[in-house]
Structure 1
Amino acid sequence: MTSTALSTATAPVVSRRADRALWGIQILLALFYGVASAVPKLVAHSSATVTFDAIGWGDWLMYLTGVLELAGAIGLLVPRLAALAALGLVGVMLGAEVFTWAFLDGVNWATPLIAAAFLGAVAYGRRHTLTVPHRR
């Protein structure tokens, strides 16, 4: 029999102020990824298609990125999923960084790294929600 419970003795204590700050960051990131980033990709807005046309891999990558960003945005707002969603979006941002240098000549290279830093802070701050199955 396995359990996914995390012992309260091993769970880090997050101050009320830190918790509020994390929620503020999570909400802002969710709005950014859900509205400003995912929607243009999912509706094939010209601002997104120009970038993905420069990559030259077809529209599937644009739609996949939009779906991943939307899923991550939703996950950031679900307490038990926030850390995993943040980690997933860090992966998307690292991929964006690679594509920025490989296909877009480094234009706006800092944006994915800054976003990844904020997402990393959320993942670290919410790490207590990550549970590891163990036997009892």
Structure 2
Amino acid sequence: MQYLVAYIATAVVFLGIDYVWLAHVSRGFYAERLGHLLMEKPNMAAAAGFYAIYVVGIVIFAVAPALRTGSLSTALIYGGLFGFFAYATYDMTNFATLKDWPPSVVMVDVLWGTVLTGVSACLGTYLTRLAIS
């Protein structure tokens, strides 16, 4: 039950923060640099699949260890590292294989993935501890 609560809490935090980032904060940044590659409407099924799988990774690699140790800093650090490696893999692969993949997108996206995942793991851990105590 603890891991289901952790999954839901982490998913709500991750989706909420990422929605604000994608829909409001960085919309112009990505459109300016990747507009020629973007679809008119995102493939929501693929996006849902990413979010569902990615949050499992956050719980396994950051939230669960933090719940075991009782340390929010564990969640923040492990979450940040998980985000860094996952987003760097995506962006560096695109940079290596796609024409016109901007270095600025690599830097911003990897930084965003690191911060977003670390914060989501930390808040997901905090909310899980609140809910199960």
TM-score, with normalisation over the residues of structure 1?
Answer: 0.37
Pair member with larger Rg: 1
TM-score, with normalisation over the residues of structure 2?
Answer: 0.38
Q: Which has the higher helix share?
A: 2
Task: Identify which of structures 1 and 2 has the higher relative contact order when contacts are C-alpha pairs closer than 8 Å and 6+ apart.
Answer: 2
